């Protein structure tokens, strides 16, 4: 680090800093989008208080972050995958690992009491991966994209697939809670909470998602929940290029039925149903299918890339205060 960078002072961003911050953000965005043109990062800072800048001894901004504190209600199903009180790094820009280190220290001092902090960042950026690792963040989950290609798979003999109805809510919820429970056993970032069952139940009963149900000899053995959403064109951060996508929210197979091809058959049916829905709605061909998977889940980490889902974004987190498989 040069002399001007040997001492960094982190303070609240001032309006006068915003042009320099915009240049930092644009430089980061251009570098990352060159690595993966499908991702978009913010190029201009959001006005207002709360953002931090790292200033060198010559008074020049060398880094920027806008911490966003997120607090979840006790009944929020997002608590399955998120800490009750966390700090999300947004609008991150820096010219070196040392700058990120200075910003991280200041952010954590200001957010004392938070159970976690982290950043969602394009998976293709190996330079930033070293930054996050150096300040104690680790890979938690990947947000992935797969082209909407068919995934041929017939259900095993004796297994039938159909669309779940509200009458199936108890069986569907039980299978989905089992799936989350398994994730919680292998990941320090997942837990079963009160909102887990409520979320799956509410979406099915209100028709906000579609669930494919697998049955074997009349017994429910697996589920796959999905819905579609649209990414509109815009100038800010976007996880995906503009278009309409199918989102595969959760796939779960009863423990004793795993390894028989039921999961692949469920995924195949969900993709086919999403494509058919898009045609019926007049949406045309979907731009692809998306999902999240935990890097700590050995099954998910192996299966989803093998089936064609490739990471676009990685969620990096530090959550030392959240115990494995916490409940409540």
pLDDT at 282: 77
Label residue 233 by pLDDT band (50, 70, 90). confident
pLDDT in tens, 122-170: 999 999 999 999 999 999 999 999 998 889 999 999 999 999 999 999 9
Nearest Cα neighbor of 221 from 272, 159, 299 is: 159
Please check whether residues 30 and 57 belong to one and the same domain.
Answer: yes
Average pLDDT score over residue span 299-317: 95
Please check whether residues 222 and 90 belong to one and the same domain.
Answer: no
Average pLDDT score over residue span 12-23: 95
Please check whether residues 174 and 306 belong to one and the same domain.
Answer: yes
CA distance 119 to 140: 10
| Averaged pLDDT score across all residues of the chain | 91
pLDDT at 327: 36
> Looking at 136, 160, 187, which one is the last position of a domain?
136
Q: For 119-141, b where at least 16 C-beta lie within 10 A, e where not — what string?
A: bbbbbbbeebbebbeebebbbbb
Please check whether residues 168 and 254 belong to one and the same domain.
Answer: yes
pLDDT at 6: 58
Range(s) of the domain holding residue 255: 146-318
The helix-helix angle for 169-186 and 194-206 (nearest 10°) equals: 140
pLDDT in tens, 78-94: 999 999 999 999 999 99
> Looking at 97, 116, 136, which one is the last position of a domain?
136
Please check whether residues 176 and 276 belong to one and the same domain.
Answer: yes
pLDDT in tens, 39-65: 989 999 999 889 999 999 999 999 999
Q: How far is CA 187 from CA 54, 71, 254, 270, 293, in A?
A: 34, 21, 19, 26, 11
Please check whether residues 213 and 262 belong to one and the same domain.
Answer: yes
Q: Is the pLDDT of residue 271 over 50?
A: yes
Please check whether residues 34 and 92 belong to one and the same domain.
Answer: yes
Number of domain units in the chain: 2
By the 8 A CB rule, do 262 and 118 touch?
no
Percent of the chain with pLDDT over 90: 78
Q: Is the pLDDT of residue 4 over 70?
A: no
Q: Is the pLDDT of residue 20 over 80?
A: yes
Please check whether residues 43 and 161 belong to one and the same domain.
Answer: no
> Looking at 136, 167, 201, which one is the last position of a domain?
136
Give the torsion through C-alpha atoms of 272, 274, 275, 281, to 10 deg. 140
Please check whether residues 158 and 108 belong to one and the same domain.
Answer: no
Count Cα atoms within 13 angstroms, Cβ side, for 165. Answer: 2
pLDDT at 143: 97
- pTM comes to 0.91
Percent of the chain with pLDDT over 70: 94
Answer yes or no: is 168 within a domain. yes
pLDDT at 323: 40
Nearest Cα neighbor of 11 from 48, 58, 47, 65 is: 65
> What CATH number should be reported for the domain holding residue 160?
3.40.630.30
The residues near 225 (Cβ < 8 Å, ≥ 6 apart) are: 176, 200, 203, 209, 210, 211, 248, 249, 250, 251
Answer yes or no: is 257 within a domain. yes
Label residue 237 by pLDDT band (50, 70, 90). low
pLDDT in tens, 93-122: 999 999 999 999 999 988 877 899 999 999
Label residue 324 by pLDDT band (50, 70, 90). very low
pLDDT at 112: 75
Secondary structure of residue 158 in the 3-state scheme: coil
Secondary structure of residue 293 in the 3-state scheme: strand
């Amino acid at each position: 680090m040069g002399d001007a960078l040997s001492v960094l002072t982190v303070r609240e961003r001032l309006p006068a800093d915003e042009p320099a911050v915009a240049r930092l953000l644009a430089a980061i965005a251009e570098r990352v989008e060159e690595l993966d043109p499908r991702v978009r990062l913010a190029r201009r800072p959001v006005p207002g208080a709360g953002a931090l800048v790292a200033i060198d001894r010559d008074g020049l901004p060398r880094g920027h972050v806008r911490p966003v504190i997120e607090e979840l209600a006790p009944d929020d199903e997002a608590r399955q995958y998120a800490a009750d009180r966390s700090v999300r790094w947004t609008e991150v820009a820096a010219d070196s690992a040392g700058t990120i280190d200075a910003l991280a220290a200041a952010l954590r001092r200001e957010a004392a009491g938070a159970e976690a902090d982290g950043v969602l960042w394009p998976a293709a950026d190996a330079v930033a991966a070293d930054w996050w690792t150096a300040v104690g963040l680790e890979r938690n989950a990947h947000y992935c994209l797969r082209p909407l290609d068919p995934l041929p798979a017939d259900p095993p003999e004796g297994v039938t697939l159909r669309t779940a109805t509200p009458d199936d809510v108890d069986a569907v919820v039980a299978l989905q809670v089992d799936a989350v429970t398994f994730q919680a056993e292998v990941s320090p970032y997942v837990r079963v909470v009160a909102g887990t069952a409520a979320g799956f139940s509410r979406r099915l009963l209100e028709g906000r998602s579609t669930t494919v149900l697998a049955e074997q000899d009349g017994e429910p053995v697996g589920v796959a929940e999905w819905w579609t959403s649209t990414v509109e064109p815009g100038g800010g951060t976007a996880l995906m290029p503009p278009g309409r996508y199918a989102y595969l929210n959760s796939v779960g197979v009863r423990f004793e039925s795993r390894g028989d091809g039921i999961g692949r058959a469920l995924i195949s049916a969900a993709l086919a149903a999403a494509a058919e829905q898009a045609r019926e709605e007049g949406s045309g061909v979907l731009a692809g299918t998306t999902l999240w998977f935990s890097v700590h889940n050995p099954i998910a980490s192996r299966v989803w890339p093998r089936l064609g889902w490739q990471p676009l974004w990685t969620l990096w987190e530090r959550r030392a205060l959240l115990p494995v498989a916490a409940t409540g």
